[in-house]
Amino acid sequence: MTYAPVAGLCRRGPGIVALVGLVLALFGLAAQASAASRDTTDDASPPTPRLATLDWGIAQNLVAMGVSPIAVGQTAGYATWVADPPLPKGTCNLGNRAQPNLELLDQLDPDRILITRFYAPAGPRLKQIAPVTSVDTYGQPGDVWTNTVDAVKRLGQIAHRSAAAQALIARVESDVRKAADQLPSSTKPLLVLQFSGPQHVRVYGQGSLIQATMQRMGLTSAWQGETTPWGFSYVPISRLAEIKTGQMVVVGPIPVGIAEQIKNSRVWQSLPIVKDAPVLYIPQVWSFGGLPSATRFARLISHALREAPASGPGWPVKAAGA
Amino acid sequence: MNRRPRITPARLCGFLGLPVVVLAVAALRATTEGNLQAIWAGPGADDITSVLVYFSWLPRLVVALIAGAGLALAGVLMQQTLRNPLASPTTLGVATGAQALLLVATLFAPGLLIYGRGLIAFIGGALAVALVFALAWRRGLAPTVLVLAGLVVNLYLGAVSLALILFNQESLHGLMIWGAGSLAQQNWSDVVHLAPCLVIVALGAGILSRSLALLDLDEVNARNLGVSMLWLRTVSLGLAVFVTASIVSRLGLIGFIGLASPAIVRLAGARTLKARLIWSPLFGALLLTLTDLALQLIAGRNAALIPTGATTAALGAPLLLWLVPRLSMNARSPNTNAPPPIPRRNAPWRLIGFAVVATLVMIIIALFAGRDAHGWNAPFALPWAETGHWRAPRVLAAGMAGMLLALAGTLIQRVSGNPMASPEVLGVSAGTGMGLLALIWFVPGAGTLALLGAGTGGALTTLVVLIAINARSGFEPEQLLLTGIAVMFAFDAIQRIVLAGNDPRTQSMLAWVSGSTYFVDMHTAIVISSVGLVLVALAWPLGRWLDVLPLGELVSRALGLHVTVSRVVLLGLVAVLTAAATLIVGPLSFVGLLAPHLARLSGLARARPHMAGAMVFGALLMIAADWVGRQVIFPNEIPAGLVATLIGGSYFMWRLRRL
């Protein structure tokens, strides 16, 4: 490869003059940069490699251990759906996660590209740019917490930041414990779910990072149903009738228009779990692969349970300041 | 025919009715968990079990009956008015219009959803049909033009939807359940809305039935009997569209019932329109209810969602395949499917020459211009070594795939004489897609080579099915297309089920299915191009067959052509061409449908200019689409197949309007 790793390459800056300038600069930098990269390899302590990743969970873990990935797939989606921790400014958007922009990635010249097995079809193409490593948490044996922690450790090795990875794991575990300490003295079994439409919900159960976090906090799950390999069940609302006692937690964002439909739903209003305790609401939590999501969920759920109104059935109460 | 049908529509419905009752009771028992006393508490009770009975189980049962009947009725009206046994309630774009507007509203104006998903979906469906009508209005809503316009609008809006889903999967996952058609209920509002719609349409169909029956004669005779064709078509299609839009907007996409019910009751002996109008809705209602009840019981403890609409279509596809050889024999009505005549161009090769030049210009643009991290780079600014090895295989693959699909499309359209025909409609693309999908689903992490293998396997399996089913009829084109449509139904349905499930595998699946040159490297591109060129060389000498076959079976035979042999050879070629192209660009690029039509609309009438023109147009379209798709929302890449559908579709609609 003859490309230049150019700092700050990824910026939105139209304007023909700027373009031409940058293109020229690129040529100029090419020579310098290749020399520079040769310099750094001689260093005793290995520098942080330039990592690009398609997966949001991996990006979350990297950012949380203080490693800024140079490029991530669908950065706008990350901001909406993952949120925590935010991507550093200047992280390049690679486009669709299943089909990251190859010419752009090639120009950015990463040292390594991190994927999960679900992006494997793009693997052969990505290998032409840089070595590709698959760091998986789902779709393999073992429980999700251990797999997620192992993924963080592996990412630490890859980024030459094993200490930071260990620190992240310790920090998350202590954050979860702290959030657990602040829980009200008695809690009902929780039914954590997300609305998929007016008739269907996605319930988090066995095998989800959310349930694993709940276990560590001493919270029990009200959902005993079968789950997919990603730890959730897709069910129509009528299936929730089988849960006789507990408290419902709705994970955001709630699609527009659902509230109106739910208010008119005889089935929803008669659900034992809705009558049993106020329905809680927490903002979005990305549950695929990122350890920081455990902290986020623990913090949000602990806050929501503390602030819960004493009684009264009905529609989710937005937890303020979450 | 001397075989007396032992099955009658009435017996068929009775045969379905029994399991419906049994399963309904079983579902009721499952709902009440054996506590049947809850039923006697009445709908006023606050107890959850009786609420479930009266506000979930019962409305779901009723809504399934209504939806099944409504869709089947719409299917009868569509098939009768459009004179096409392949027509279904969604032929004119209702469902894709509803879906597209819902997706757009969800992404760009979520505030509108306050007015309810149903209303937005209904408006979307109505707008799409209005567009189809506008396109066909000048030709007096002639069936062929309507079917073509519907097909293009369907493809166009389908491509828009898929592009939106591709980049906003998380935001849209709730809509994917709607897209797969779920009948789950939690109050009576759907029943209250849909029941009057069904009654209105049933009454309308009853009033129209005498006039509509005259359509079994040909058009000239019907007109002589004093029927205003434009009025009759508008009202009849309007009724069908109204009931379909109402059902789709409330419950989501439920395929198969509207296509299959009329076909099955006709097969069972409902020969007259009146008989079909009576039995088809009844059969449709029972069929959908039976499926829904069975799925409810199966779903029971299952973690994944089993959406009724899509599953009905997936399960129905084999039934349709079984029906196909039996169906076409009975469907002998005047064929009004011949494409409208186009003035022939005097100098076809000059036009083709211009197109070749345009293609060369496009290739240069595609190879040397583009955006990078800094924005647009001037052509030739970046050294070839930096971008050439990324761009060259994609340009080659796109051009080749466009060429092969266009050639396949020309062959199949000329052989079948049906303007709806395309290699995609033949089902080979869908078969390839199913092979890819199965591998991505069950072996996540499989490499490109495995995917190529799975795709080829899928194509070959489909081909074997096509041959097995159609050998007896001597590859009669109408029947062949029905077979292909059944395969497409299955593929579309499976895709919808997968999308509704929304797990990390769907992203990969979408990437492959939507038809992108992304995964092609130079090696693959060269191999497939060589195969493609050999196939083109094989097809070229067959020009005479293609000039003769559209004249009909009798004329062809009189001119000394062995009809069955020539059909088998040409269809075999179509299948191989399609499989080769699909492996590159996925099953959803409709270049194979569009390019031959574009060539024909430009006045390329004889076989060889038609083939050559279509191939050049196909290549140009795909190369342009691939390049535009890579630039337009950089760094995101819209798959070439989708962009080709959008570009080709726009042009096609424009031409259609001036027809």
Q: Which residue in the set A9, A106, A121 is minimally distant from B519, CB to CB?
A: A121
Tell me whether residue A84 is in a domain: yes
Helix, coil or strand: residue A194: strand
| Residues of B (509-538) whose Cβ lies below 8 Å from A | 510-512, 516, 518-519, 521
pLDDT tens for A150-191 read: 999 999 999 999 999 999 999 999 999 999 999 988 889 999
What Å distances lie between residue B296 and A76, B70, B289, B523, CA to CA? 38, 21, 10, 49
Question: Is B223 an 8 Å CB contact of chain A?
Answer: no
Phi and psi dihedrals of B340, rounded to 5? Answer: -60, 145
CA separation for the pair A129, A70 (Å, rounded): 14
Token pair for B410: 């020309």
Question: Is A230 an 8 Å CB contact of chain B?
Answer: yes
Residues 6+ apart with CB under 8 A from A189: A219, A220, A221, A222, A245, A246, A247
Q: Closest by alpha carbon to B91, among B329, B425, B326? A: B425
Report chain B residues whose CB lies below 8 A from the CB of A261: 116
Tell me whether residue B176 is in a domain: yes
- Asked whether B55 and B185 are in contact (CB, 8 A), the reply is yes
User: ∠ at Cα A199 (B256, A238), nearest 5°?
Assistant: 110
Q: Are A124 and A184 contained in the same domain?
A: no
pLDDT at B619: 94
CA separation for the pair A192, A116 (Å, rounded): 26
Tell me whether residue B92 is in a domain: yes
What Å distances lie between residue A267 and A38, A248, B120, B360, B574, CA to CA? 67, 15, 25, 63, 53
Give the mutation candidate from A2, A267, A274, A285 for the B interface (greatest B CB count, under 10 A): A267
Question: Is B303 an 8 Å CB contact of chain A?
Answer: yes
Enter the ipTM: 0.81
pLDDT at A168: 96
Tell me whether residue B49 is in a domain: yes
Q: Are A110 and A239 contained in the same domain?
A: no
Helix, coil or strand: residue A114: strand
Q: Are A112 and A58 contained in the same domain?
A: yes
The verdict on whether omega for the bond into residue A292 sits within 30 degrees of 0, i.e. cis, is: no
CA separation for the pair B453, B459 (Å, rounded): 10
Q: Are B326 and B352 contained in the same domain?
A: no
- Asked whether A256 and A195 are in contact (CB, 8 A), the reply is no
Q: Closest by alpha carbon to B167, among A208, A214, A248, A93? A: A93
Tell me whether residue B336 is in a domain: no
Q: Which residue in the set B184, B391, B446 is minimally distant from A200, CB to CB?
A: B184
Question: Is B189 an 8 Å CB contact of chain A?
Answer: yes
Report chain B residues whose CB lies below 8 A from the CB of A271: 48
Q: Closest by alpha carbon to B600, among B589, B588, B613? A: B613
3-state secondary structure B11-73: HHHHHHHHHHHHHHHHHHHHHHCCCCHHHHCCCCCCCHHHHHHHHHHHHHHHHHHHHHHHHHH
Alpha carbon B45 to chain centroid, angstroms: 46
Q: Are B524 and B432 contained in the same domain?
A: yes
pLDDT category of residue A204 using cuts at 50, 70 and 90? very high
Helix, coil or strand: residue A132: strand
| Residue A93 β-bridge partners | A72
Strand pairing of A132-134 and A190-195? Answer: unpaired
Between residues B448 and A251, which one has the greater pLDDT? Answer: A251
Report chain A residues whose CB lies below 8 A from the CB of B510: 98
Q: Which residue in the set B381, B503, B516 is minimally distant from A23, CB to CB?
A: B381
Tell me whether residue B338 is in a domain: no
Q: Are B269 and B403 contained in the same domain?
A: no
Question: Is A103 an 8 Å CB contact of chain B?
Answer: yes
Q: Are B360 and B236 contained in the same domain?
A: no
Is it the case that residue A16 has pLDDT exceeding 70?
Answer: no
CATH number for position B196: 1.10.3470.10
Q: Are A178 and A126 contained in the same domain?
A: no
- Asked whether B244 and B284 are in contact (CB, 8 A), the reply is no
User: ∠ at Cα B337 (B331, B341), nearest 5°?
Assistant: 160
Find the closest chain A residue to B120 by CA distance.
Answer: A257
Q: How many CB atoms lie within 10 A of CB B220?
A: 9
Tell me whether residue A304 is in a domain: yes
Helix, coil or strand: residue B415: helix
Token pair for B328: 């076409």
pLDDT at B329: 44
The residue among A135, A154, A187 that closes a domain is A135
Residues 6+ apart with CB under 8 A from B308: B64, B181, B182, B183, B254, B288, B291, B292, B295
CA separation for the pair B154, A56 (Å, rounded): 34
- What is the mean pLDDT of the segment spanning A285-314? 83
Alpha carbon B137 to chain centroid, angstroms: 23
When mean pLDDT is compared across A303-307, A316-320, B264-268, the lowest value belongs to A316-320
The residue among A80, A109, A135 that closes a domain is A135
CA separation for the pair B24, B30 (Å, rounded): 10
Tell me whether residue A112 is in a domain: yes
- Asked whether B513 and B436 are in contact (CB, 8 A), the reply is yes
Tell me whether residue B3 is in a domain: no
Q: Which residue in the set A236, A255, A272 is minimally distant from B184, CB to CB?
A: A236
Q: Are B431 and B318 contained in the same domain?
A: no
Question: Do the chains contact at A225 and B303, CB–CB below 8 Å?
Answer: yes
Q: How many CB atoms lie within 10 A of CB B102?
A: 26
Tell me whether residue A207 is in a domain: yes
CA separation for the pair B69, B285 (Å, rounded): 4
pLDDT category of residue A110 using cuts at 50, 70 and 90? very high
Token pair for B481: 């297309």
- Asked whether B185 and A199 are in contact (CB, 8 A), the reply is yes
Q: Are B565 and B631 contained in the same domain?
A: yes
User: Residue A221 gets which letter from DSSP?
Assistant: B
Q: Are B386 and B299 contained in the same domain?
A: no
**Domains held by chain B: number:** 2
| Residue A112 β-bridge partners | A51
| Residues of B (239-268) whose Cβ lies below 8 Å from A | none
pLDDT at A7: 45
Give me the numbers of helices (H) and strands (E) for chain B, helices first please.
27, 2
Strand pairing of B370-372 and B375-377? Answer: antiparallel
pLDDT at A322: 36
Token pair for A136: 């998986």
Q: At what angle do helices B591-601 and B384-416 cross, to 10 degrees?
A: 70
pLDDT at B256: 83
Tell me whether residue A164 is in a domain: no
Q: Are B326 and B362 contained in the same domain?
A: no
Strand pairing of A232-236 and A200-204? Answer: antiparallel
pLDDT at A23: 39
pLDDT at B447: 65
pLDDT at A117: 84
pLDDT at B474: 67
When mean pLDDT is compared across A26-35, A227-236, B71-80, the lowest value belongs to A26-35
Q: Which residue in the set B117, B185, B304 is minimally distant from A234, CB to CB?
A: B304
Q: What is the mean pLDDT of each run of 10 residues along chain B (659 residues)?
A: 65 89 88 74 77 90 96 93 81 90 90 84 93 86 80 87 87 83 88 94 92 76 71 90 92 87 85 91 94 85 79 83 66 47 77 92 87 65 71 92 92 77 78 84 72 79 82 72 79 84 75 79 86 90 84 80 82 82 76 87 87 94 92 87 86 74
Q: At what angle do helices B58-82 and B189-213 cross, to 10 degrees?
A: 20
CA separation for the pair B442, B589 (Å, rounded): 25
Question: Do the chains contact at B301 and A260, CB–CB below 8 Å?
Answer: no
CA separation for the pair A190, B217 (Å, rounded): 66
Q: Are B247 and B362 contained in the same domain?
A: no
Strand pairing of A200-204 and A190-195? Answer: antiparallel
CA separation for the pair B352, B618 (Å, rounded): 12
Question: Do the chains contact at A10 and B503, CB–CB below 8 Å?
Answer: no
Q: In which domain, by residue range, is A246 found?
A: 173-318
Token pair for A276: 């049993």
Tell me whether residue A61 is in a domain: yes
Residue identified by tokens 């930098």 is A29
The residue among B330, B361, B384 that closes a domain is B330
b (16+ CB within 10 A) / e for B308-330: bbbbbbbebbeebbebbbebbeb
**Domains held by chain A: number:** 2
What Å distances lie between residue B238 and A255, B126, B129, B204, B244, CA to CA? 32, 10, 9, 10, 10
Q: Closest by alpha carbon to A60, among A160, A155, A129, A178? A: A155
User: Residue B272 gets which letter from DSSP?
Assistant: S
Q: In which domain, by residue range, is B650 found?
A: 348-657
pLDDT tens for A236-249 read: 888 898 898 999 99
Tell me whether residue A203 is in a domain: yes
CA separation for the pair A116, B165 (Å, rounded): 21
Q: Which residue in the set B168, B500, B637 is minimally distant from A101, CB to CB?
A: B637
Tell me whether residue B337 is in a domain: no
Q: Are A239 and A302 contained in the same domain?
A: yes
Q: Closest by alpha carbon to B234, among B128, B336, B132, B152? A: B132
Question: Do the chains contact at B510 and A10, CB–CB below 8 Å?
Answer: no
Question: Is B193 an 8 Å CB contact of chain A?
Answer: no
Tell me whether residue A249 is in a domain: yes
| Residues of B (438-457) whose Cβ lies below 8 Å from A | 440, 444-448, 451
The verdict on whether omega for the bond into residue A110 sits within 30 degrees of 0, i.e. cis, is: no
Q: How many CB atoms lie within 10 A of CB B148?
A: 24
Q: Is the dihedral of CA B154, B159, B160, B162 positive or negative?
A: positive
Helix, coil or strand: residue A75: helix
Q: One-letter amino acid identity for A119?
A: Y
Report chain A residues whose CB lies below 8 A from the CB of B163: none
CA separation for the pair B574, B581 (Å, rounded): 11
Residues 6+ apart with CB under 8 A from B332: none
CA neighbours closer than 13 Å in the CB half-sphere of residue A127: 12
Tell me whether residue B595 is in a domain: yes
Q: Closest by alpha carbon to B430, among B500, B513, B314, B322? A: B513
Q: Are B323 and B405 contained in the same domain?
A: no
User: Residue B278 gets which letter from DSSP?
Assistant: H
Q: How many CB atoms lie within 10 A of CB A66?
A: 15
Q: Are A236 and A295 contained in the same domain?
A: yes
Question: Is A114 an 8 Å CB contact of chain B?
Answer: no
Phi and psi dihedrals of A281, rounded to 5? Answer: -130, 135
* Cα end-to-end span (Å), chain B: 41
CA separation for the pair A129, A113 (Å, rounded): 9
CATH number for position A70: 3.40.50.1980
Question: Do the chains contact at A20 and B171, CB–CB below 8 Å?
Answer: no
Q: Are B315 and B436 contained in the same domain?
A: no
The residue among B274, B298, B330 that closes a domain is B330
The residue among B330, B357, B372 that closes a domain is B330
Q: Which residue in the set B444, B501, B507 is minimally distant from A98, CB to CB?
A: B507
